[in-house]
Amino acid sequence: MTAPAQRRLAILGALLLAGLFVAANIHLLGVALTSRSACVPAAPDKPPAKRVC
């Protein structure tokens, strides 16, 4: 493999890895913002964590 071809391959790999990292973080942020946890009945001696529950 020639030096220019190896350099292009390394740059392409780095760009793919960076793109995968950005896509995973965007997915994580989207899931975190759209998911809602269900209210769980609180113990009789403790108030719920959220007032809306």
Q: What was the pLDDT predicted at 45?
A: 80
Q: What was the pLDDT predicted at 50?
A: 66
CB of 39 closer than 8 Å to CB of 53: yes
CA distance 29 to 22: 11
Judged against a pLDDT cut of 70, whether residue 51 lies above it is answered with: no
Quick: pLDDT tens for 13-48: 999 999 999 999 999 999 988 887 776 677 778 777
Q: What was the pLDDT predicted at 1?
A: 86
HSE (side-chain half, CA atoms, 13 Å) at 20: 6
Q: What was the pLDDT predicted at 44?
A: 78
DSSP line for 4-32: HHHHHHHHHHHHHHHHHHHHHHHHHHHHH
CA distance 39 to 7: 54
Judged against a pLDDT cut of 90, whether residue 4 lies above it is answered with: yes
Q: For the chain, which residues make up each domain, given as ranges?
A: 1-53
